[in-house]
Amino acid sequence: MRRCGPWLRASVDTAVIAIDTNIVVRLLVNDDAAQGRRARSLLAAGQEVFVAPTVLLESEWVLRAAYGFGPDKIAGFLRALLGLPGLRTANPDQVAHALTGYEQGMDFADALHLASSHQTDRFYTFDAAFRRKAGSEMPGVTVSAP
């Protein structure tokens, strides 16, 4: 039996593959037709596909910094990607919560850090903008300066 985390639905008959940021970007941007076709064929092969939250984080950065997309477009891209049949991520509720914070004005990395810390009582940061936005955009964990 394949060992995997609880975020994947794997059985003996189901292969699970993981994809990197460059595959995600080719799927979403399709700026290289040949690589775009190869990336799409991975998803069409019927295998379970795992996308790590770190890949989503790097994908957001690439789409914003290299391609100039804004938060609304990027969040839409990532939500559509995560909605594909057979595609999984670790801690999907945390990722969804982070995307909501991102759509409401938080930095995606900050929103993911905070969403991943939901089981804590307090999150410390020197970043004043993060503290301000976290309180209004993602209530739950208290964000404070040390």
38: which 2 tokens? 């190869």
Residues 30, 36: Cα–Cα separation, whole Å? 5
**What pLDDT, on the 0 to 100 scale, is given for residue 119?**
87
Structure confidence at residue 140 as a pLDDT band (50, 70, 90) = confident
**What pLDDT, on the 0 to 100 scale, is given for residue 48?**
94
List, in sequence order, the alpha helices (H) in the chain: 21-29, 33-44, 53-65, 71-82, 92-103, 108-115, 128-137
Interval 33-84: pLDDT, tens: 999 999 999 888 888 999 999 999 999 999 999 999 999 999 999 999 999 9
For the chain, give the number of residues: 146
Residues 126, 101: Cα–Cα separation, whole Å? 19
Tell me which amino acid residue 75 is. A
As beta bridge partners, residue 18 has 50
Residues 44, 86: Cα–Cα separation, whole Å? 10
**What pLDDT, on the 0 to 100 scale, is given for residue 134?**
86
Structure confidence at residue 95 as a pLDDT band (50, 70, 90) = very high
pTM (2 d.p.): 0.86
